[in-house]
Amino acid sequence: MSPEPTLRLRIDKQALASNWRELDRMSGTASAGAAVKADCYGLGIDQCVPTLRDAGARHFFVAHWSEVAALRAHIDGAQIAVLHGPVHDSDVAYALETGAVPVINSLDQARRWTSGTAGANAKCHLMIDTGINRLGVAPSELSDPAIAALNIDIAMSHLANADENSAMNARQLSAFRECLDAVSHDSASLSNSAGIGLGTDYAFDLTRPGLSLYGGVPRDELLGVIKQVAHVQVAIIQTRMLKAGDAVGYNGEFTAKTPMRVGTVSLGYADGFLRVRGPGAVLMAGERALRILGKVSMDMVVVDLSEADDLGEGDWLELPFHLPDAAQQSAVSQYELLTTLGHRFAR
């Protein structure tokens, strides 16, 4: 048995299931899949995928082939799609062995898939680049014989500016529609979380939410709909009295003006709490906000306990983690707040 943790990540599974259902509802006649790459955006495949599966998700998206195995353990018959596609020949063999379906992103990947699966007529997905210029074949490449040789299940594209009211959204939508006429496919998919907020015109047959499953709110349409999933709890590991003039932490950025009681809390960079998040941040003891003093110092922060005599070593505090608010407070994106949580939390 491992000793008691001083960091906990509580995953609210009801909120997670509710988020998937709401995103599925907002997808209209399309169904919602689930982007579960990066270990469910840092929250944990083992904690999240069974809930998403039981809520009804049937299409799971990861970025790397190395993410397939952990996911397979939890889904039975649902489909795993690998967004980065077959970069190496060994990826093709791995796809055939595991049943994970590659997203083809280039003519090279298309040829690699076709030659590696010779005769199998194996299904793949196709990413079409309609303006993000990241992954995907260009619309002008769709007439290439390498694309015609594919057996395409989902034809997809990815929105670059869906979290903004940008003219780019409508441009990508109409470009995607034209591409769908040019390539044979079973179904079509365009929207990520923010795209779902743009409305059902953008939904096609399948949506691919990630961020909002885990509590992210990239557009106002999702405010009040999406619930907080991750709750970050941190323990006080030591308390101390400062004298007037005592400085706290690296570079002594906070100096006590009067004697005061402070607590050292086990939360640091490796837990996603980067130095940029320190200034102005608080930890909550119930309704009380305790300010963080000085710099985040590797594995620790120091909080002001002058108004919290009752708190001592071993007591738990909560890091405010309502993602839109936390992102605004810290200038760290909602994606980064989640994916940098690290591996030291008891989940």
For the chain, how long is the longest CA-to-CA vector? Answer: 78
125 touches ligand PLP by CB under 6 A: no
Nearer to ligand PLP, 126 or 232 (CB): 126
Interacting stretch for ligand PLP, rule CB under 6 A, among 43-51, 188-196, 247-255, 314-322? 188-196
From the centroid of its chain, how far is CA 140? Answer: 31
Rounded to the nearest 10 degrees, the angle between the axes of helix 107-116 and helix 89-98 is 60
Q: Which of 42, 116, 197, 210 binds ligand PLP (CB under 6 A)?
A: 210
Stated as kind and residue range, the H or E segment containing 268 is none
Q: How far is the CB of 206 from ligand PLP (least distance, A)?
A: 10
Site for ligand PLP in 103-122 (CB under 6 A): none
Site for ligand PLP in 238-277 (CB under 6 A): none
Of all residues in the shown chain, the one whose CB is closest to ligand PLP is 210
In angstroms, rounded to a whole number, what is the distance separating the alpha carbons of residues 164 and 281? 27
Q: Which of 191, 234, 212 is nearest to 15 (CA)?
A: 212
257 is catalytic: no
Binding-residue total with ligand PLP (CB under 6 A): 12
Q: How far is the CB of 210 from ligand PLP (least distance, A)?
A: 3
85 touches ligand PLP by CB under 6 A: no
Spell out the residues 6+ positions from residue 73 whose beta carbon is closer than 8 angstroms to its own. Answer: none
In angstroms, rounded to a whole number, what is the distance separating the alpha carbons of residues 91 and 105? 14
Q: Which of 123, 214, 250, 269 is catalytic?
A: 250
Nearer to ligand PLP, 213 or 267 (CB): 213
Please, are residues 218 and 193 in contact by the beta-carbon 8 Å criterion?
A: yes
In angstroms, rounded to a whole number, what is the distance separating the alpha carbons of residues 247 and 295? 11
- The count of other CB atoms within 10 Å of the CB of residue 220 is 10
208 touches ligand PLP by CB under 6 A: yes
Q: Which of 37, 94, 202, 214 is catalytic?
A: 37
83 touches ligand PLP by CB under 6 A: yes
Site string for ligand PLP, 3-42 (x = CB under 6 A): --------------------------------x-x-----
Residue burial 11-39, b: 16+ Cβ < 10 Å; e: rest:
bbbebbbbbbebbbebbeebbbbbbbbbb
Q: How far is the CB of 146 from ligand PLP (least distance, A)?
A: 21
94 is catalytic: no
In angstroms, rounded to a whole number, what is the distance separating the alpha carbons of residues 47 and 44? 5
Q: Which of 48, 82, 211, 285 binds ligand PLP (CB under 6 A)?
A: 211
In angstroms, rounded to a whole number, what is the distance separating the alpha carbons of residues 205 and 336? 29
| Amino acid (1-letter code) at residue 35 | A
Q: How far is the CB of 61 from ligand PLP (least distance, A)?
A: 6
192 touches ligand PLP by CB under 6 A: yes
Q: How far is the CB of 176 from ligand PLP (least distance, A)?
A: 13
In angstroms, rounded to a whole number, what is the distance separating the alpha carbons of residues 148 and 127? 14
Token reading at 269: 């960079």
Q: Which of 6, 106, 117, 193 binds ligand PLP (CB under 6 A)?
A: 193
- Give the interface with ligand PLP as residue ranges (CB under 6 A): 35, 37, 83, 158, 192-194, 208-212
Active-site annotation, residues: 37, 250
